[in-house]
């Protein structure tokens, strides 16, 4: 049975892919879970036109996010031990949480390198996006909190 995927399913395909699977799998899993549609000519036309619209919107949103973070400087207060060593560490997850609070949606896959910062100071963090072919960097500065 030919099915058009409406969601990305690992080991099967991406959104909009037309795949050939067994009838039982399609009728009992893919279609009831809203993961796919029968590959009729109308459904194929609708999915293709919607995919192009959604792709254009997501590309514009990603470009806007990269414009927002381009050259961004963030001052981050952290708790420190002796010798300006941070309690724990500052990593990509904490940075993405801070960026999300600035209403900028980035994914961890946009980071060029994973990091774990253990000392206060200034750092450059590089971001990339293969889809829109853009690179940018932000500057973060970790400073002691006054306690």
Per-residue model confidence as pLDDT tens digits over 59-71: 778 888 888 888 8
Spatial separation of the C-alpha atoms in residues 109 and 48, rounded to whole Å: 26
SS3 67: helix
Q: Which fold has domain 2-58?
A: Ribosomal Protein L9; domain 1 (3.40.5)
Question: Does the model's pTM come out above 0.75?
Answer: no
Give the C-alpha separation, 66 to 89, whole Å.
Answer: 26
CATH superfamily, domain at 66-144: Ribosomal protein L9, C-terminal domain (3.10.430.100)
pLDDT tens for each residue of 22-32 = 999 999 988 88
């Amino acid at each position: 049975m030919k099915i058009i995927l409406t969601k990305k399913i690992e080991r099967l395909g991406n959104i909009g892919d037309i795949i050939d699977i067994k009838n039982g799998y399609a009728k009992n899993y893919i279609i009831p879970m809203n993961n796919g549609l029968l590959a009729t000519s109308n459904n194929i036309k609708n999915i293709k036109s919607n995919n192009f619209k959604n792709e254009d919107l997501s590309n514009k949103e990603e470009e806007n996010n990269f414009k927002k973070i381009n050259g961004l400087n963030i001052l981050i207060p952290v708790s420190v031990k002796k010798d300006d060593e941070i309690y724990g560490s500052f990593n990509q997850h904490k940075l993405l949480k801070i960026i999300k609070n600035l209403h900028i949606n980035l994914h961890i896959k946009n980071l060029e390198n994973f990091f774990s910062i253990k000392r206060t100071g200034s750092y450059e963090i590089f971001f990339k996006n293969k889809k829109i072919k853009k690179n940018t960097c932000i500057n973060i500065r970790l400073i002691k909190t006054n306690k």
